[in-house]
Homo-oligomer: A and B are copies of this chain.
Amino acid sequence: MQTDFAGKKVLITGGAGFIGSTLAQRLVECSAEVTVIDSLVPEYGGNRFNLQPVWERVRFNVSDVRDHFSFERLVEGQDMLFNLAGQTSHLDSMEDPFTDMEINCRAQLAILEVCRRVNPTMKIVFASTRQLYGKPAYLPVDEKHLLQPVDINGIHKMAGEWYHILYHRVYGLRTCSLRLTNTLGPRMRIKDARQTFVGVWLRSLVEGAPFEVWGGDQVRDFNDVEDVVDALLLCALSDLADGGIYNLGAHPPVSLRELAELMIEVHGSGTLVMREYPVARLKIDIGDYYADFGLIQSTLGWTPKVPLRKTLERTLAYFREHLEHYV
């Protein structure tokens, strides 16, 4: 894979965020010419520090995907677009559904319209989410599961994903969509629970504060960010992926209680407080979830490689060293 990206011109929206910046670093290591777009809205996860190790080797462009006028110039001449920018907070989407629509619907459609017009042969990989499935009707959840989103964010991400698929089917754009599950790793957002409760747990651990686990029996799957980057890169390289939709995931699924206990063990200390799941949030809770990721395994040969313990070790070590840039 290393050589396949050498000299390739790559654009990453949301490239200063957790996954985007990890992807940018990997692509720089592969000698790609990387342009990062990020709005640096603090709540959405963009953080200049994430790009610090490659700051001199990426072109950084402050842009919001809602500002579509600038986008055309940035898309011209690129070989690949990793379209990772998005509003990802479920609670924010319920409080301000129209902002969520602007980012996750209108901006996505505008991006695809620009690609269609100025760069129709570029490869486009879209970061979708398991949130589209809502509360699972069966486990593990495969791509044939109905989409039944339980929040506005899920509805808009569903539309965003289908714009990508539609623009492949109708206009032949080389798009594909990865439905990400919980992703963990260095550079994730830990300031608050906007993107994931695990962020708050990590922060509390590193700050030596107790943290709350709500419920605890819910089962989830967790991917290391480097495994997610592998999947993004495989999609970008494979013509087979054009028009495809793939779950990511990991075996075995773990309960939130198990995850919390493993984090404390890996960190060497920590206090968890078990709490009942808040009734007010039950309506948008999805209960247990883990994915069947057999389709991307058989089609593209992707498989998650990093064990959860290793991910937690790397992640906790990172935040022990760089906490001040993330709180």
The answer to whether residues A149 and B170 also contact, given A98-B109, A109-B101 and a CB cut-off of 8 A, is no
Question: Which of B97, B146, B152, B159 is within 8 Å of A155, CB to CB?
Answer: B159
Chain B CB within 8 A of A94 CB: yes
Question: How far is A184 from B156 in the complex, measured between Cα atoms in Å?
Answer: 32
Question: How far is A109 from B94 in the complex, measured between Cα atoms in Å?
Answer: 11
Q: Is the CB of A158 within 8 A of B162?
A: yes
Q: Is the CB of A163 within 8 A of B159?
A: no
Chain B CB within 8 A of A274 CB: no
Question: How far is A169 from B98 in the complex, measured between Cα atoms in Å?
Answer: 19
Question: Which of B97, B98, B101, B113 is within 8 Å of A97, CB to CB?
Answer: B113
Q: Is the CB of A166 within 8 A of B144?
A: no
Chain B CB within 8 A of A257 CB: no
Total residues of chain A contacting the partner, CB 8 A: 28
Provide the residues of chain B in CB contact with A101, threshold 8 Å.
Answer: 105-106, 109
Q: Is the CB of B163 within 8 A of A150?
A: no
A 164-197 binary contact with B (CB < 8 Å = 1; else 0): 0110011000000000000000000000000000
Chain B CB within 8 A of A242 CB: no
Provide the residues of chain B in CB contact with A144, threshold 8 Å.
Answer: 146
Chain B CB within 8 A of A58 CB: no
Q: Is the CB of A166 within 8 A of B147?
A: no
Q: Is the CB of A170 within 8 A of B97?
A: no
Chain B CB within 8 A of A209 CB: no
The answer to whether residues A162 and B149 also contact, given A109-B97, A109-B101, A113-B97 and a CB cut-off of 8 A, is yes
Q: Is the CB of B146 within 8 A of A166?
A: no
A102, chain B: closest CB distance, angstroms: 9
Provide the residues of chain B in CB contact with A158, threshold 8 Å.
Answer: 158-159, 162
Provide the residues of chain B in CB contact with A162, threshold 8 Å.
Answer: 148-149, 155, 158
Interface centre among A94, A109, A144, A284 (most CB of B within 10 A): A109
Question: Which of B159, B165, B169, B283 is within 8 Å of A159, CB to CB?
Answer: B159
Provide the residues of chain B in CB contact with A221, threshold 8 Å.
Answer: none
Q: Is the CB of A284 within 8 A of B159?
A: no
Question: Which of B94, B105, B109, B156 is within 8 Å of A170, CB to CB?
Answer: B94
Q: Is the CB of A98 within 8 A of B94?
A: no
Provide the residues of chain B in CB contact with A169, threshold 8 Å.
Answer: 150, 283
Known: A147-B147, A150-B166, A170-B284. 6 other contacts (CB 8 A): A105-B105, A109-B152, A146-B146, A150-B170, A159-B159, A169-B283
